[in-house]
Amino acid sequence: MNAEQLREYLVIIRWSPLDLAQVLGCEEGLVNAWVLGTEDTPDDVGGWLDTIAHFHKAAESQRPRRFQGYNRPKASERALEHVPVDAYYLLRRLGQGPVPLTDLYGIRDEGLVDFLITRGLAVRDSDELLITEAGRGMGEIEEED
């Protein structure tokens, strides 16, 4: 990893060189040398930062809209979004009662849980997944304000 790429990843992750040094447990001067390009960033550090930056980029696209600089729009102004069939079936299951998170495992189920939570349709409550009011309203026709 070159110094420019390291600086880019630190911006994506929102870490300063001091933050990185503290996380790694090394001297800030060493991280500054990597950032300036006077020393090579070790491959294992570069790979680790690449993974973290990748997840930060992916998570950014899932940030709740109401926290992206504006309030939640009215129902008539909201863009329609496709709800994957499996997520809808899980939501229907939640409508019948809480679902133990231990019943949901694997990357596919984790993706469905994340989809429902990031859209405000479900919440985690200790070891269970619960439906929200917005989730209960899924499929209902909203009246105009």
In sequence order, which residues have a C-beta less than 8 Å from that of residue 37 and are 6 or more positions away? 2, 3, 4
Q: Is the pLDDT of residue 19 over 60?
A: yes
Domain ranges of the chain: 3-60, 70-136
Write out pLDDT tens, residues 50-98: 888 888 877 776 666 655 554 455 555 555 667 788 888 899 999 999 9
Assign a CATH topology to domain 70-136: Arc Repressor Mutant, subunit A (1.10.10)
The pLDDT of residue 136: 87
Nearest Cα neighbor of 123 from 145, 142, 107, 101 is 101
Q: How confident is the model at residue 117 (pLDDT cuts 50, 70, 90)?
A: confident
